[in-house]
Amino acid sequence: MMSSGGVSDEDSIKDLKLSITSTPVHGASSSSESVNDSPWARRGQAGSSATPTSNRRRRSSSRASSKNLKSSEISPISMIFRNLLILEDDLRNQSREQRMLKWQFTLFLAGLAGIAAFSFYELYFTSERVTGLYRVGLQFLLIFISVTIVLFHLSGEYKRTMVIPRRFLVNANKGMRQFNMKLVKVKSTWIQKYADTVRLVVRRVAKWNMKLLIMMGASNTSIYAFWSSLSIRCLPRLGAVDVKLVLNAKAFSAEIREGWEIYRDEFWKRETVRRRKQESQNNTHLKKE
């Protein structure tokens, strides 16, 4: 969900993608190092006329290659976790979009069904007979809604907006089964859901009051500072709050699975701090404007 005045989830994912693309690849250095350390290379170097300068160069290159080896031991698992984090956030955004799509069309169909039921009741079950233009209007409305619902099913929109979003987790897990991981739903307690709703409402009210104070020219008052701090505190929860990626226990060791959980939690903690700082800067910039 993207809050007004805040930073969207896509900003953090762009930062992750930039960090992945900027990660150096040490495959070439390690391969050249293995060639230099082979017995044939040592034999050729021993037979050649070695000078003090060449010896120093070889020693410096060996030190640099040893540093590259140490860094290459860390980078692969870090790159894997970053890729998993990007994949998880992308699936989370898709899950939210599908859930919102399902609720929107559920309300749409419920509204049509309610209007059709009211028209049918007025036409055939009321004690007083309906006549005139009112009766014609109800009949036209009932026929129009019936045709709309039939076309909604025949065109495939019902499957796209109701069936597919409901089976999103099942379809996603079928595609990720070959990678030994699955997407699971995180169950939130009613207290957490209530707190999320309160955060959303309070944050929108705070943003509205801040804009109103700026229009009144009272952006340097303590009231504006109060609403600004309240909008920062009411930022939505980040991370694995609705769905999350879980590694298969049969394919991955407990150490790797625990490392993935720790990596994800630490990232979202840092991201929460970063977004609060960004929100504070946005409020300051809004006040100056």
Q: Compute CA 85 distance to the chain's CA centroid, rounded to the nearest angstrom.
A: 9
Q: How confident is the model at residue 61 (pLDDT cuts 50, 70, 90)?
A: low
Phi, psi angle pair for 155, to nearest 5°:
-80, -10
Instruction: For tokens 């989830």, name the residue.
Output: 9
Instruction: For tokens 């600004």, name the residue.
Output: 228
Q: How confident is the model at residue 81 (pLDDT cuts 50, 70, 90)?
A: very high
pLDDT single digits (tens) 5-31: 344 444 444 444 444 444 443 333 333
Give pLDDT, residue 116: 93
Contact call for residues 280 and 233 (beta carbons, < 8 A): no
Domain residue spans of the chain: 187-239+253-289
Average pLDDT, stretch 151-166? 93
Give pLDDT, residue 60: 52
**Closest Cα partner for 231 from 239, 240, 221, 223?**
223
pLDDT single digits (tens) 236-249: 988 888 899 999 99
One-character DSSP codes across 4-45: TTS--HHHHHHHHHHHHHTS---HHHHHHHHHHTSHHHHHHH
Tell me how far apart the alpha carbons of residues 108 and 113 are, in angstroms, rounded to a whole number: 9
Tell me how far apart the alpha carbons of residues 140 and 152 are, in angstroms, rounded to a whole number: 18
Task: Quote the longest CA-to-CA distance of the chain.
Answer: 115
